[in-house]
């Protein structure tokens, strides 16, 4: 019997985790993967997910497959699943790094590391020309923000 894991399209039975109705297997990822760690799989805020080995982001399939009209789950490279915190729909932090996710992009599987960001002081901001900052730098869309004024 299939059990829903919330509003993001994930389901689970006694043998597998499913995403958008299909057993999770992604042949676009390098290397291809499936989720074997169903005991530790959990859905995080903003439809990110994780198990004991990986954190996963959802990207649109269309840039990868011109005949596809679906969402694809990708493991985020270089992120620690044990210390990951989701800040909003775009930013995640772990103990070492900050990551930016762009759902509509497949650059770095839709997620890239914000190399200059300090994960200890990094925070999302609202109502500014930039969308995040750390103790030293302001960021917009995961890149260093440079004011044009």
Per-residue pLDDT of the chain (149 residues; tens, 9 = 90+): 888 988 888 888 887 788 877 777 655 555 555 676 788 889 999 989 999 988 988 776 655 555 555 667 788 889 999 999 999 999 999 999 999 988 645 444 578 899 899 999 999 999 999 999 999 999 999 999 986 65
pLDDT at 128: 95
Beta strands 10-12 and 17-19: pairing type? antiparallel
Residue with tokens 């689970």: 12
Question: Which letter does DSSP use for residue 44 in this model?
Answer: P
pLDDT of residue 38: 80
Answer yes or no: are the C-beta atoms of 73 and 26 closer than 8 Å. yes
C-alpha to C-alpha distance for 140 and 130, rounded to whole angstroms: 5
pLDDT at 60: 64
Per DSSP, what are the bridge partners of residue 40?
A: none
Task: Please report the pLDDT score of residue 87 as a whole number.
Answer: 97
CB neighbours of 60 closer than 8 A, spacing ≥ 6? 70, 71, 72, 103, 104, 106
List the structure tokens of 84.
């990951």
What pLDDT is attached to residue 108? 46
pTM of structure: 0.82
């Amino acid at each position: 019997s299939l059990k829903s894991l919330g509003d993001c399209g994930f389901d689970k039975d006694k043998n597998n985790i499913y995403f958008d109705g299909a057993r999770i297997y992604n042949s676009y990822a390098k290397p291809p993967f499936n989720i074997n760690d169903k005991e530790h799989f959990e859905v995080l805020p903003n439809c990110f997910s994780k198990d004991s080995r990986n954190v996963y982001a959802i990207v649109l399939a269309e840039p990868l497959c011109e005949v596809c009209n679906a969402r694809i789950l990708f493991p985020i490279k270089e992120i620690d699943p044990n210390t990951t915190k989701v800040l909003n729909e775009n930013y995640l932090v772990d103990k070492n790094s900050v990551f930016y996710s762009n759902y509509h992009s497949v650059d770095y599987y839709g997620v890239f590391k914000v190399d200059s960001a300090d994960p200890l002081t990094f925070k999302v901001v609202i109502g500014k020309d930039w969308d995040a900052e750390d103790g030293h730098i302001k960021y917009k869309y995961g890149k260093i923000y440079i004011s044009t004024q």
